[in-house]
Amino acid sequence: MKEFWLGKLGWHALPHEWFTILGSISFVMLGLTVIAGLTYTKRWKWLWNEWLTSVDPKRIGIMYFIVGGFMLLRGGLDAIMIWLQQSLSSGASHGYLTAEHFQQVFTAHGNIMVFFVAMGLIFGLINYIVPLQIGARDLASPFMNTLGFWLYVAGVVMVNMFFLFGGEYAATGWLAVAPLSGKAFSPGVGVDYWIWSLQISGVGTTLGAINFIMTILKMRAKGMTLLKMPLFTWGSLCSMIMAVSVFPLLTMTLFLVFFDRYFGTHFFTTDAGGNAMMYTNLIWMWGHPEVYILMLPSFGVFSEIVSTFSRKPIAYYKSNVLAMIGVSSIALLVWLHHFFTMGASAEVNSAFGVATMIIAIPTTVLVFSWIATMYKGRIRFTTPMLWFLGFIAIFALGGISGVLLAIPPVDFQLHNSLFLVAHFHSTVIGGVLFGIFAGLNYWFPKIAGFRLNERIGRYAVWAWIVGFFVAFTPLYILGLMGATRRLDHYDSSKGWQPFYIMALVGGLIIAAGVALQIVQIIASIIQRKRLRDPTGDPWDGRTLEWATASPPPSYNFAVIPEVKTRDAYFEMKHLHAPKHAFEDIHMPKNTASGIYISIFAFLAGFGFVWEINWLAVVSIIGIIVCLIARTFNEDSEYTIPAEVVRKMEKARTDKADTHRKDSRDDEDDMGLIEFAKTVITWALGIALGIVRGKK
């Protein structure tokens, strides 16, 4: 009976390692603080109505940033844990983690960073910026978007369940290589958590991608032909098309692994005709494009930034677009380079090696396009531009090591070594994370209405760049010294330890960079009045998102602009556009269906992880019922009357005119010392207030 109701669940599942207990405690404390804060300020209803059930892509984008940023801290902590273990665990010392736990930590690190940090933040940017850039008021399917977001959140919770609730995480590497991930070699619930966190968030990604393809293709402002689209939108379109092409493959592969583990089928097992090599193929057919799904929007961000801060239109726009399309299509055809060492023939290996090299061509063209844009520009070294300059150095390193790994005979020596690890961190940190940070700095004034602190922002960039090289140069060298990845212990005779320690130091410098980014945001909030941008266009921007207020009203544009050229807004600024009459605006209503479906999806996954069959079945029925109920909801829109729009717009323009001043000068931005002073004074003030209040 107990087995029917609880499956494999029992007291033994609860957290019992010091770090999982610490993790649970800190999460519970954080949760309690948030709950207390919301109750104290009576914000529950506001949170539910204004945010959680919102279908506004801008709000959903911000929620992606918050969850993704939080996961960045979580994944970063894993990174420090990994390096700490490897710095300690040499010779007689075995570090502070067992092999099993160490393997769980790096698996979680990889999954969290790729799925819940990079994917989350990229989706956040796309959500916020793409509709603004194409002059749309909402998305093709606002409901699908909120559903996609909440499925992502369900995945986030699932990946953290092993220490929030209990059990263990997969100890298989981030892609759960078969047959290691089979029941025979990984009998615990770790791989099941892995399957369901990826499965649920992966479905969310597919839905989001379909939605954005439809939005970009069907909802552009009048006159914006495909070849007048801003490059970030182009990058996002390429990325989303790739996501739609490969995420169903991930979904299917995960189902097959699930069947193997749950129903005892033999798709990827060693026995009874299972073929583990097929798993390797399938997972990489998705896994390689996945990296480019993250990279392409980031390329778009850099194109926007280089163009804006060079005060020039992007050079060779068509070439740039072609390069992005090239990257995204060839990226679908290179997956085999992840396992040259599995024993395919020289013919197959060299074919995939050539395909991989071909990707380097459009990527280089993008770099040339940025160089040509800077040529005879007037370059402002704002924080986004500094992120770009850092990206180039790191990404070049990643690109060269990547082409090196595409040469099969060289790959035989470097595969599975720390050289490989250093390579993909160069591309993902340099290419994806730096792109996201650049984008967040660039669009922050649009999102918040005030720009970020430039001075502390610069410190953060430098900490990240220096930290990156201190952390990953030793990994390249360790790879050349024959160090394989994922080692929880090694011989002291090899001379690896100093390099691992150096990497740890680099990791701590990066952590300082992250701390500086947090300080940057807090300092900017403190100084928000001084940094306020009433114009909606703080950088002398070129694309449509700068044409509306900061932050934009829920309907984005009171009058949808008509696009005549590329860099539409830049041209508009120099022409006095005729006044349009305001019209009624139809906007989608908020809905909680996405939340309900995601809760059911989470519960279904949870049921499958612990083999609580009734829960899984009930939850799946719940999902279906919610979906059907949603289709009967025809009252999904509301109207903002033209008169209201006119009033809102008038209030905004009046305000903008009275405040118009150049706030671009960064001499006023507070530095770290002033920040420390402000925070201490503030804390002292509160403390004194409490003391006085008691008297």
Partner 1 sequence: MAKHKKIREGRAIWVAFLALIGLGLLVAVLLRGNDVILFNPKGLVATQQRRLMVTSTLIMLGFAVPVLITLYFFAWKFRETNPKATHNPSASRGKLLMLAFWAMPTAIMLILASLMIPATFKLEPQDTIKAEKDLLTIQVVALRWKWLFIYPGQDIATVNYVQIPVDTPVQFQLTADETPMSSFWIPHLGGQLYAMTEHNNRLNLLADTPGDYEGSAAEINGAGFAGMRFTTRVSAQDDFDTWVAKTKQSPAELSTPEYKKLLGPSENHPATFYKDPDPSLYSTILSKYAGSHGGSHDHQTQGAGEH
Shortest gap between Cβ of 89 and partner 1 (angstroms)?
9
Residue whose entry in the numeric block shows the structure tokens 């709950």: 35
Q: Does 180 bind partner 1 (CB under 8 A)?
A: yes
Least distance in angstroms from the C-beta of 407 to partner 1? 5
User: Residues 319, 613, 636, 678: which binds partner 1 (CB under 8 A)?
Assistant: 319
Among 140, 249, 344, 592, binds partner 1 (CB under 8 A): 344
Judged by CB under 8 A, does residue 484 bind partner 1?
yes
User: Could you say which of 205, 303, 373, 619 contacts partner 1 (CB under 8 A)?
Assistant: 373
* Piece of 120-128, 144-152, 372-380, 441-449 that binds partner 1 (CB under 8 A): 372-380
Token pair 């008038």: residue: 650
Distance CA 145, CA 149 (A): 6
Closest by CA position to 261, among listed 363, 360, 178? 178
88 touches partner 1 (CB under 8 A)? no
Give the Cα separation of 440 and 457 in Å (integer): 11
* Cβ-based burial of 546 (10 A; exposed 0-12, middle 13-18, buried ≥19): buried
Place of tokens 């060492």: 341
557-576 positions binding partner 1, by CB under 8 A: none
Q: Between residues 221 and 403, which has the closer beta carbon with respect to partner 1? A: 403
Residue 265 engages partner 1 in binding (rule: CB under 8 A): no
Residues 651-690 that bind partner 1 (CB under 8 A): 667
Give the angle subtended at the CA of 326 by the CAs of 322 and 330, to the nearest 5°.
175
Supply 480's token pair: 């050349």
Candidates 137, 312, 337, 451: give the one binding partner 1 (CB under 8 A).
Answer: 312
329 binds partner 1 (CB under 8 A): no
Interface with partner 1, residue 648, by CB under 8 A:
no
Could you say which of 466, 512, 522, 679 contacts partner 1 (CB under 8 A)?
466
- Residues in the interface with partner 1 (CB under 8 A) total 108
Decide if 583 contacts 248 (C-beta within 8 A).
no
Nearer Cβ to partner 1 (481/679): 481
Nearest to partner 1 of 104, 160 (CB atom): 104
CA pair distance 312, 296, nearest whole angstrom: 21
Task: Identify which of 69, 70, 60 has the alpha carbon closest to the alpha carbon of residue 124.
Answer: 60
- Stretch of residues binding partner 1 (CB under 8 A), selected from 50-58, 110-118, 488-496, 533-541: 488-496
User: Minimum Å distance from CB 271 to partner 1?
Assistant: 7
In 3D, which of 68, 66, 61 has the Cα closest to residue 130? 61
- How far is it, in rounded angstroms, from Cα 241 to Cα 225? 18
In the list 291, 325, 477, 508, the residue contacting partner 1 (rule: CB under 8 A) is: 477
Footprint on residues 5-64 left by partner 1 (CB under 8 A): none
Spell out a b/e string for 104-134, using b for 16 or more CB atoms within 10 Å of the CB, else e. Answer: bbbbbbbbbbbbbbbbbbbbbbbbbbbbbbb
For the bound state, the minimum distance from the C-beta of residue 502 to partner 1, rounded and expressed in Å, comes to: 7
CB of residue 487 to partner 1, shortest distance in Å: 5
Nearer to partner 1, 6 or 278 (CB): 278
Which residue number, 361 or 644, has a Cβ lying nearer to partner 1?
Answer: 361
Asked if 333 is part of the footprint of partner 1 (rule: CB under 8 A), the reply reads no
- DSSP letter string, 572-601: HHHS-PPP-----EEEEPP-SHHHHHHHHH
Q: Does 227 sit near partner 1 (CB under 8 A)?
A: no
Interface with partner 1, residue 260, by CB under 8 A: no
Per-residue b or e along 1-30, where b marks 16 or more CB atoms closer than 10 Å to that residue's CB: eeeeeebebeeebebeeebbeebbeeeeee
Contact call for residue 357 and partner 1 (CB under 8 A):
yes
Min separation Cβ 173 and partner 1, Å: 5
Please choose, out of 120-128, 400-408, 446-454, 622-630, the segment that lies near partner 1 by the rule CB under 8 A.
400-408
Our CB check for partner 1 shows the closer of 378 and 579 to be 378
Please identify which residue in 71, 117, 171, 283 interacts with partner 1, judged by CB under 8 A: 171
Show the binding pattern over residues 409-428: x = contacts partner 1 (CB under 8 A), - = does not: xxxxxxxxx-----------
Element (H, E) at 315: none
Q: How far is the CB of 631 from partner 1 (least distance, A)?
A: 43
How many Å apart are CA 619 and CA 600, to the nearest integer? 5
Provide DSSP, 251-288.
HHHHHHHHHHHHT---SS-SSTT--HHHHHHHHHHHHH
Alpha-carbon dihedral angle through residues 95, 100, 106, 112, given to the nearest 10 degrees: -130
